[in-house]
Amino acid sequence: MSLSDTQRIEILILRRGDKTRMQKQVCEIFNTKYPDRRISQSTVSGIENKFREFENVTDIPKSGRKRILDDEQKLDILLNIQDNPHKPSRQIAADNDVKLRMLFPDDNPNEIDRNI
């Protein structure tokens, strides 16, 4: 799970706010406050580098085609499965012009993602 922009800003403030802290100290403070979202020193370093380079902490859009299915594609896939539950998953993917791995959670080809 990625950090929210607010959490990234909080990391910058912990590092350089009222006093300069070592990255290790920032990790300890952050990990105490958010035990379910632990960070490493490399995370702190990466956030600092991104802020220095782009003057922003927001994720930068990646190039290339997005791998997210829109609602219409999801409905088409589900209807395709409902109409023919024994149709091979490769054929379902081909019929709907999507990559096979988009149909499966966590690279498990034995289970179609029911959340699509």
- Round to whole Å and give the CA distance between 99 and 113: 13
- Predicted TM-score of the model (pTM): 0.55
Q: Is the dihedral of CA 93, 94, 96, 99 positive or negative?
A: positive
Report pLDDT digits (tens) over 3-61. Answer: 999 999 999 999 998 889 999 999 999 999 999 999 999 999 999 999 999 999 998 77
Report pLDDT digits (tens) over 9-22. Answer: 999 999 998 889 99
- Round to whole Å and give the CA distance between 5 and 46: 13
